Amino acid sequence: MKKLRSSIAYRNLCRRTGRSIALIILAAFLSFAIFAGTVAQHSLKSGLDSLQNRLGADIMVVPKQAAAHSDLENIVLQGNTGYFYMDEDAYEKIAQTEGIGQISAQFFLASASSGCCSIPVQLIGFDPETDFTITPWIRKSYDSTLNDMEVVVGNDLNAFVGDTLTFYNQDVHVAAKLDKTGTSLDTAVYMNHNTLKTLLQASLDLGMNYFSDIDPDRVVSCVLINVADGYSIEEVLNDINIHVRKVKAVQTRNMISGISGSLSGISNIITGLAVAIWVLALVILVIAFTMSANERKKEFAILRVSGASRKRLSRIVMQEAAMICFAGSVIGVVIGCLVMIPFGNFIETQLGMPYLTPDVPWIVVVAVISLVVSAVAGSLTSIVASRKISRMDTGLILREN
């Protein structure tokens, strides 16, 4: 460190504080662009992959009126609060369709934001005996059987194992907390179908449910299906839509395709912005180092007369650029970490897309790569200035003015 501070390059930077700070800011933009852009794209892709794994079914069957509702995908895919029901007879008819390999029903109920409920969240009920989408996910955090009036909460909820939550004046106990998915499902509460039906009946008793004439023991919200080997998804889907009334079977891949398309668009925008920032910053750095070299021609000429070689002068310029770009790269990566990691939920909300922040080891690797790439790229911009210095005519410069 002492040797660094005594170097000509370091003292030059300290003597021109304003210019050095401006160049450091430009270098910080370089590293911030590559780090933040990479983290954002990876988080969006991880969120989509998590959503696909969470859904884990070929076909979803919902009431026909729900299929026409604009918020269907938000409720089913994103876990936003809402609910709809169809008669259990429809489930029994669907189960008789040829080509079904796995089938399970789910139940939705949105808790109210009043005194009857601890928090307004999406309540999701499932049958542990037949479920093949939620149960594998829950087993990562909870390997026991989920008993009646026990719930598992999403990662973003301010509730922990052992806590008691109240929904429609019914107390339920938190048995586990799930891993993060990067979607609104992280604020949902999961329970077996008996618990959900108890809460559904309680909402009816309190007059806080739009479906006042339903029988909690005779309804389901949606049916998830995996097609058996040897059958096509389209065949089973069309068979259900033709022979089962008042329901709509949809291919889950098509539901996710809209989110996938939006993800592609956002990724392209992020890439475009990152490239634009890189090009602009690199061009400005080249211009800045070149202008600085022109301003310092006499300084370099005097150093040449004092015995410094052309190679030595070029090395001084390169050292200055390396110090500036390394300092800026560190600052850019630090700012990127402070922006992208703590505000992941805010970014998810603003984008309206699944957003799953990567784990710490991955972030560390990307941070190091971003720092190295931006520092090296920024340093290379000084080559133009160093070449110019190595070719200058010392005698001519000293005779000017």
pLDDT in tens, 16-67: 777 778 888 888 888 888 888 888 888 888 777 766 666 678 888 888 877 6
- Same domain (yes/no): 18, 100: no
* End-of-domain residue from the set 240, 255, 270: 255
Tokens of 369: 């790569």
Tokens of 182: 């990067």
- How far, in Å, CA of 76 to CA of 49, rounded? 16
The pLDDT value recorded for residue 400 is 59
The pLDDT value recorded for residue 398 is 47
- Same domain (yes/no): 277, 144: no
The pLDDT value recorded for residue 24 is 85
Phi, psi angles (nearest 5°) of residue 244: -110, 120
The pLDDT value recorded for residue 29 is 83
* End-of-domain residue from the set 210, 234, 255: 255
Instruction: Name residue 356's amino acid.
Output: L
Residues 363 and 337 sit within 8 Å (Cβ to Cβ): yes
- Same domain (yes/no): 33, 100: no
The pLDDT value recorded for residue 235 is 92
C-alpha dist (Å) from residue 23 to 28, 92, 111, 283: 9, 69, 54, 12
- Same domain (yes/no): 67, 172: yes
Q: State which residues of the chain have pLDDT below 50.
A: 4, 70, 397-398
Strand stretches in 14-161, DSSP E: 59-63, 86-87, 100-110, 122-126, 150-153
β-pair partners for 163 = none
- Same domain (yes/no): 283, 339: yes
- Same domain (yes/no): 118, 229: yes
- Same domain (yes/no): 294, 204: no
- Same domain (yes/no): 174, 229: yes
Max intra-chain CA distance, the chain:
100
Q: Match 């008996």 to its residue by tokens.
A: 194
Residues 375 and 329 sit within 8 Å (Cβ to Cβ): yes
Tokens of 300: 């370099």
- Same domain (yes/no): 82, 182: yes
- Same domain (yes/no): 170, 41: no
- Same domain (yes/no): 250, 290: no
The domain in which residue 392 lies consists of 2-50+259-399
- DSSP code string of 318-329: HHHHHHHHHHHH
Tokens of 201: 């009946």
Residues 222 and 127 sit within 8 Å (Cβ to Cβ): no
**3-state DSSP assignment of residue 297:** helix
User: Nearest-5° angle of CA 234, CA 239, CA 244?
Assistant: 135
- How far, in Å, CA of 252 to CA of 336, rounded? 35
Instruction: Name residue 107's amino acid.
Output: F
Tokens of 156: 């973003």
* End-of-domain residue from the set 203, 236, 255: 255
Residues 85 and 216 sit within 8 Å (Cβ to Cβ): no
Indicate the number of domains in the chain. 2
- How far, in Å, CA of 86 to CA of 276, rounded? 51
- Same domain (yes/no): 322, 238: no
